Amino acid sequence: MADIKIHVFHTGEVCVAPDLPFGGDNCNAVKASGVFGKKEDRLWLPVSAYLIEHPKGKFLVDTGWARDVSPNGEFDKKAQIKSLGSVLLYEVNQGRIGLGQCIDEQLLEMGIKDSDIDAVLITHLDCDHANGLKQVKNAKKFMVSADEVKFANKITNKVRYYKGWWEGIDLTEFEWNDNQGPVGKSYDLLGDGSIELINIPGHADGLYAVKVKNEEGKFVLLFSDGGYARKSWEEQITSGIAADKQLQKQSLAWIKEQSLDENCVESLANHDPDIAPHIIEL
What's the pLDDT tens digit per position in 94-152? 999 999 999 999 999 999 999 999 999 999 999 999 999 999 999 999 999 999 999 99
User: By C-alpha distance, which of 8, 13, 45, 65 is closest to 272?
Assistant: 45
Using alpha carbons, list the distances in angstroms from residue 87 to 3, 7, 46, 123, 199.
Answer: 45, 33, 22, 24, 30
Q: Which H or E run includes 33?
A: helix 29-33
Domain 5-281 carries which CATH code?
Answer: 3.60.15.10
Mean pLDDT along residues 231-240: 96
Residue 263 pLDDT > 60? yes
Spatial contact of 140 and 120, defined as CB atoms under 8 Å apart: no
Cross-strand partners of 24: none
Residue 1 pLDDT > 60? no
Q: How far is CA 233 from the centre of its chain?
A: 16
| Mean pLDDT for the chain overall | 96
Spatial contact of 248 and 202, defined as CB atoms under 8 Å apart: yes
pTM (global) more than 0.95: yes
Q: What percent of the chain has pLDDT over 90?
A: 93
Mean pLDDT along residues 71-80: 96
pLDDT band at 37 (very low <50, low <70, confident <90, very high): confident
What pLDDT is stored for residue 28 in this prediction? Answer: 83
CB-count burial class (<10 Å; 0-12, 13-18, 19+) for 47? buried
CA dist 266 and 254 (Å) reads: 15
Handedness of CA 164, 50, 88, 79 (dihedral sign): negative
- pLDDT tens for residues 138-151? 999 999 999 999 99
Residue 56 pLDDT > 80? yes
Spatial contact of 181 and 224, defined as CB atoms under 8 Å apart: no
What pLDDT is stored for residue 36 in this prediction? Answer: 84
